[in-house]
């Protein structure tokens, strides 16, 4: 292993730890807010709102990725009908991405 790959590995580990810490802090705040709300009002609206917001952000991210892939493919290959196999490959890829996104949604709902 070279010094460069060790440095990249270390940076990657540090970035992952920082993200994990941010996620932990976020979760702690959500749980504290929900517990406080339950204790004072007997409801958990803040938790429901937070979950809905997080779900919408994830859906928006998936849509952005799907659009990005579509735009990239169209940019690289153009909108040419002269190559039917390319057009069908792009269409098949779009369907595969949609199936993956739909499957991910189902798995997340079941979790």
**Using the 8-state DSSP alphabet, how is residue 42 labeled?**
S
* Cα separation, 26 vs 49, whole angstroms: 14
The structure's pTM equals 0.50
pLDDT per residue over 56-86, tens digit each?
Answer: 988 888 888 877 776 666 555 555 554 455 5
pLDDT per residue over 81-108, tens digit each?
Answer: 544 555 566 666 777 777 777 776 655 5
Which residue in 56, 95, 105 sits closest to 73, CA to CA? 95
Orientation angle between helical segments 45-77 and 3-41, nearest 10 degrees = 140
Confidence of residue 2 (pLDDT cuts 50, 70, 90): low
pLDDT at 48 over 70: yes
Confidence of residue 110 (pLDDT cuts 50, 70, 90): very low
């Amino acid at each position: 292993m070279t010094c460069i790959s060790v440095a990249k590995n270390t940076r990657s580990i540090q970035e992952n730890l920082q993200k994990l810490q941010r996620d932990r802090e976020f979760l702690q705040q959500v749980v504290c807010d929900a517990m406080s709300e339950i204790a004072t009002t007997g409801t958990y609206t803040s938790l429901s709102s937070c979950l809905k917001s997080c779900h919408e952000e994830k859906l928006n991210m998936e849509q952005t990725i799907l659009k990005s892939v579509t735009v990239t493919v169209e940019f690289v290959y153009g909108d040419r009908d002269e190559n039917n196999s390319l057009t069908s490959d792009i269409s098949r890829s779009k369907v595969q991405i949609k199936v993956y996104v739909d499957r991910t949604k189902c798995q997340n709902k079941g979790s």
